[in-house]
Structure 1
Amino acid sequence: MTQFGRIGAVVALACASAACSSITTHRGYIVDETLMYAVHPGIDNERSVEGTLGQPSFKSQFGQPTWYYVSSTTEQAPFTTPHITAQTVLAVKFDSKGNVVSADRTGMDQVVRIHPNGDSTPTLGRERSFLEDLFGNIGQVGGMPGGAGPAGGGPNGT
């Protein structure tokens, strides 16, 4: 094998191995361990938490005021759906005066994997075929069933 053939084989092998590697993506809050442990109940308030950690990923809309800082890392192999490999959620709860009550941190132990059942969503009601969906409204276009329509007056017969 010539030197060009060897170089070509090495380049082809490098391209093939790069195409099979997974893609790692970070989403959400960028975690700084030192700053996350700097929030202390009874000492900090909303203003100091925002100064330390920045704006939360989202805030609670009901119940006790809570700020959530969510960070996740996903990996995706070629031609597959991404899956979460690491997740951190910091929930900072405040009292009515804006003082920190608690700062709870959770990780992958709280992640729930949901596996949908099939390709369709079950609904209440009767099952209709494609032809019933396609032709089911014939005769219903001109107005309401029973002859009441635009030409026959309103629903009260006037």
Structure 2
Amino acid sequence: MTQFGRIGAVVALACLSAACSSITNHRGYIVDETLMYAIQPGIDNERSVEGTLGQPSFKSQFGPPTWYYVSSTTKQAPFTTPHIDAQTVLAVKFDKEGNVVSADRSGMENVVRIHPNGDSTPTLGRERSFLEDLFGNIGQVGGMPGAGAGGAGGPGT
């Protein structure tokens, strides 16, 4: 094998191995373990939590005021859909005065994988073909002259 043949084989092997590696992506809040454990019930309030952790990923809309800090890491093999590899959720609950009541942390044990059933959602009514959808309304609305508000028996007759 010539010198150029060996170099070409090494380059081809490097390209093939790089194409098969999975992609890791981080989404959401960037977790800092020290800061997450620094939140203390009875000591911190909304202002100190925001100063320590920043704005939450989202806030509760119902029930007691709760701030959620969500962090997830996804992995994706080539030509596949991404899947969650790791997830951390910090739920900081406040009382009515804005003081921290609890700071609960959870991980992958609460992740639920949902597998939808099929590609379409069943609906009530009749099934229509493409041609029925395309030509179905011809003559339905305002089809006959005189039908409607200005027709026979209406004003101006």
The answer for unaligned runs of 5 or more in structure 2 is none
Aligned to 2:133: 133
**What percentage of aligned pairs have identical amino acids?**
89
AA of the residue aligned to 2:132: E
SS at match of 2:48: helix
The answer for unaligned runs of 5 or more in structure 1 is none
Partners of 1:24 and 1:117 lie apart in 2 by: 28
Which is further off, 7-16 or 127-136? 127-136
SS at match of 2:116: coil
Partners of 1:102 and 1:53 lie apart in 2 by: 15
Partners of 1:50 and 1:56 lie apart in 2 by: 8
SS at match of 1:21: coil
Partners of 1:7 and 1:41 lie apart in 2 by: 62
Aligned to 2:21: 21
SS at match of 2:122: coil
Partners of 1:62 and 1:120 lie apart in 2 by: 32
- 1:150 to partner: Cα distance: 4.4
> After TM superposition, what 4+ stretches of structure 1 lie above 4 angstroms from structure 2?
none
- Are 1:45 and 2:37 counterparts? no
- Are 1:102 and 2:111 counterparts? no
- Are 1:152 and 2:151 counterparts? yes
Partners of 1:151 and 1:105 lie apart in 2 by: 69
- 1:92 to partner: Cα distance: 0.4
Aligned to 1:117: 117
RMSD value over aligned CA atoms?
1.9
Partners of 2:53 and 2:3 lie apart in 1 by: 56
1:88-145 deviation digits (Å, cap 9, x = unpaired): 11110100000001111111111111111111111122222222212221211317x9
Counterparts of 1:65-80 in structure 2 under 5 Å? Answer: 65-80=65-80
Q: What is the total number of aligned residue pairs between the two structures?
A: 153
AA of the residue aligned to 1:57: S
Which is further off, 132-141 or 41-50? 132-141
- 1:79 to partner: Cα distance: 1.1
